Structure 1
């Protein structure tokens, strides 16, 4: 699964505040990616974004779960390919660094909402994960106002996204009364529980990292 750090590079985690790069330096590093728009990786990211409404319609309209799984699989394949191509072709860009994680989050949120409407998963699971997204959204806005770019993706966040995006099609397969559902159900539930737990833990780590950066900036600004 590709993530934002396939397109952009941030400061390493655990950097002491006294030696951490200034917000302006971090923004300069991100801006150094370039402003190209018409690239193959960006095209794949846009196609993945366009698949979100199609995916939702398949789940909530005709309940064409098989085709919805195909869309999800294609999204996962392009998610892997766009980061690899960006590095191989030298086509990393600021737009790509924004589109890639945005598409992942949209698929996760869209799937959670659709699953609640179809009673595939309980509401409390969705509420927890959506609250996590809301908190992270506010955190990113605060960082941006302080001059910091979005945080580098943590490996736990990568693992959580990987588990959830594999759990979703299995949850669809488990939503039925057939031999395939009986086999898919325990695997789907296990992946969902572990993915949700890691997703929440990654959110806590992101917020902690953001608090550290903001506190370091304030201490640096308070020095004579």
Structure 2
């Protein structure tokens, strides 16, 4: 999900509140990005793993709390997808740089980001600031965010690495496929919205 693609808690109208628990969680996730970059670059894998796991947990909690307690906000709709993107991008580059994942996988996921950038640009030209979120898009992000800690744990030898390796790659492949399926669905969704407007 790109910044214009995700709408957290679309089942309620966003408000202008800034100081909310979901927004605080999203802000903490953003603050964790430079710490993760340092940890992965200096091979402090335990710290990097904790940051990634905390990111996945808070990503789930901020949306859940926002929807359940009516705390959906415009700030949250901006912060949440930005945090998602930063973690995915920095983790992909960091893991590829460490030779944990191949660079061609990074290229496939970055190509999807470029594709979605075009979709969002077209949407904005027609007056939409974002597309309604759907389950597959969020599921793709969750799969990727869960894949990265497992792949980091798979680095090295031992029973834990052997256990984490198939789990990590399973989440990675499902996440990659769902990521592209979600992108195509967003494009189809946008085409339908444009056609519907043109038919009026």
TM-score w.r.t. structure 1 length?
0.80
Matched with 2:37 is 56
Larger radius of gyration: 1
Matched with 2:144 is 164
Deviation track 1:146-181 (CA, whole Å, cap 9, x = no partner) reads 111311222111221121111111111111122221
State the alpha-carbon separation in 1 of the partners of residues 111 and 63 from structure 2: 28
1:185 counterpart = 2:185? no
1:47 counterpart = 2:54? no
* Contact persistence 2:6–2:130 (CA under 8 A): no
Matched with 1:201 is 181
Aligned residues between the structures:
196
* Pairing of 1:24-39 with structure 2 (within 5 A): 32-39=13-20
RMSD over aligned CA atoms reads 1.9
* Pairing of 1:49-198 with structure 2 (within 5 A): 49-60=30-41, 62-198=42-178
State the alpha-carbon separation in 2 of the partners of residues 181 and 7 from structure 1: 36
Unpaired segments ≥5 residues, structure 2? none
Unpaired segments ≥5 residues, structure 1? 10-28
Range 126-135 or range 155-164, more displaced: 155-164
Matched with 2:191 is 211
